[in-house]
Amino acid sequence: MAVTRLTEQTQTLKGKTTEVQTKLSSCPETSPHLVGPLHVEFNWSRTMEAVRTECGSSLLEGGRYKPPDCISHHKVAIIIPFRNRHQHLIQWLYYLHPVLQRQQLDYGVYIINQDGEGMFNKARLMNVGFAEALKEYNYTCFVFSDVDLIPMNDRNIYGCFSKPRHLSVAVDKFGFMLPYSTIFGGVVSLSKEQYLAINGFSNNYWGWGGEDDDIYQRIAIKSMSITRPDMATGRFKMIKHERDVHNELNLHRGEILEKTSSTMEEDGINSLRYTINKIEKDTLYTFITVDIGSPK
């Protein structure tokens, strides 16, 4: 009898929840919670537990969030390729969760951790993030972000637009200037359709360099162009660090890049191979440790 009564109560609650949800309207095109320029300072004594305490109350398991009072225009998976950058991740989570919530995004944070000590492959990890995020939710937008880049203006929306978007256009490392006109790296966004049209990222860039230029070529080959925020809105602060071990300069990036137009249909999300070793659900993120193999 008690079980029956509980079931009835649950169904009633579910009905009320559904009724409330159907009454929600779309969020405003521009969130009223944005504040504009942000002061960013890195605190190296900050702990992950402190960030959980400060930022975790509004989050669901896995670093998921939805605006409570409206339906977001953006269903966004934030993909971070990762290895041995835990202090950087603490800073990123501390700043980005409040920004993403003020932007009224329906989002999840996915940390794609390359297992082992082999040569790093950032682009392949980003492909893994795309594939794994879609197993959990019907994301329509994907933001690919380096873990060491923090936005300095919350009006730089981590969402998707009618064209692929380059968000990190004015990084302090480069004097808040665009290094070159065809750069498409650091923090970028692509809709699901845009990403699939270019077959995602190349899987063949082992070590540092080349994958950003490759994806720009893919976009151009498919007759798309990119958009950027203005230089004031697109300001970012980079966490200074030394080049990671096993992420040495890719000496073959030029010759791979020359072949992009002839290889992109077979080299990308449709040829991705990987093995999931572990998935951890934290309040602040979903941490996926993956074996992506090694250079042939």
Tens digits of residue pLDDT in 215-243: 999 999 999 999 999 999 999 999 986 65
Is 44 a catalytic site residue?
no
Is 146 a catalytic site residue?
yes
Q: What local confidence, expressed as pLDDT, does residue 20 receive?
A: 46
Is 97 a catalytic site residue?
no
Phi and psi for 279 in degrees, rounded to 5? -125, 120
Q: Which of 33, 243, 244, 280 is catalytic?
A: 243
pLDDT-based confidence at residue 94 (cuts at 50, 70, 90) = very high
Q: What local confidence, expressed as pLDDT, does residue 3 receive?
A: 35
Q: What local confidence, expressed as pLDDT, does residue 240 receive?
A: 83
Q: What local confidence, expressed as pLDDT, does residue 207 receive?
A: 81
Query: Is the model's pLDDT at 19 over the cut of 50?
Result: no
Is 208 a catalytic site residue?
yes
Greater confidence, 11 or 186? 186
Order the strands of the 235-238 sheet from edge to edge.
149-151, 235-238, 170-171
Q: Is the pTM of this model over 0.85?
A: yes
Q: What local confidence, expressed as pLDDT, does residue 132 receive?
A: 98
Q: Which of 132, 148, 214, 267 is catalytic?
A: 148
Greater confidence, 259 or 100? 100
Q: Which of 106, 132, 146, 213 is catalytic?
A: 146
Residue 183 CB coordination number (10 Å): 18
> What is the average pLDDT value for the chain, to the nearest integer?
90
Dist CA 82 CA 112 (whole Å): 6
Q: State mean pLDDT over 54-62.
A: 95
Query: Is the model's pLDDT at 2 over the cut of 50?
Result: no
Q: What local confidence, expressed as pLDDT, does residue 294 receive?
A: 86
Q: Which of 172, 208, 252, 282 is catalytic?
A: 208
Is 241 a catalytic site residue?
yes
The 3 state secondary structure assigned to the chain is CHHHHHHHHHHHHHHHHHHHHHHCCECCCCCCCCCCECCCCCCCCCCHHHHHHHHHHHCECCCEECCCCCECCCEEEEEEEECCCHHHHHHHHHHHHHHHHHCCCEEEEEEEEECCCCCCCHHHHHHHHHHHHHCCCCCCEEEEECCCEEECECCCCCCCCCCCEECCCEEHHHCCCCCCCCCCCCEEEEEHHHHHHCCCCCCCCCCECCHHHHHHHHHHHCCCCCECCCCCCCEEEECCCCCCCCCCECCCHHHHHHCHHHHCCCCCHHHCCCEEEEEEECCCCEEEEEECCCCC
Q: Which of 102, 115, 238, 252 is catalytic?
A: 238
Q: Which of 33, 54, 231, 241 is catalytic?
A: 241
Q: What local confidence, expressed as pLDDT, does residue 248 receive?
A: 61
Q: Which of 212, 213, 214, 267 is catalytic?
A: 212
Is 244 a catalytic site residue?
no
Q: What local confidence, expressed as pLDDT, does residue 9 receive?
A: 36
Instruction: Pull the structure tokens for residue 191.
Output: 């809709």
Evaluate whether 247 touches 103 at the Cβ level (below 8 Å): no
Query: Is the model's pLDDT at 247 over the cut of 90?
Result: no
pLDDT-based confidence at residue 13 (cuts at 50, 70, 90) = very low
CATH topology of domain 41-291: Spore Coat Polysaccharide Biosynthesis Protein SpsA; Chain A (3.90.550)
Q: Residue with structure tokens 């890195």?
A: 42
Instruction: Pull the structure tokens for residue 260.
Output: 């992009």
Dist CA 215 CA 88 (whole Å): 25
Radius of gyration of the chain (CA): 20
Q: What local confidence, expressed as pLDDT, does residue 261 receive?
A: 86
Query: Is the model's pLDDT at 21 over the cut of 80?
Result: no
Query: Is the model's pLDDT at 91 over the cut of 80?
Result: yes
Is 177 a catalytic site residue?
no
Q: What local confidence, expressed as pLDDT, does residue 260 receive?
A: 86
Residue 177 CB coordination number (10 Å): 10
Q: State mean pLDDT over 116-140.
A: 96
What tens digit of pLDDT does each residue of 162-219 get? 999 999 999 999 999 999 999 999 999 999 999 999 999 999 988 876 789 999 999 9
Residues near 33 by beta carbon (within 8 Å), at least 6 away in sequence: 101, 102, 103, 104
Query: Is the model's pLDDT at 95 over the cut of 80?
Result: yes
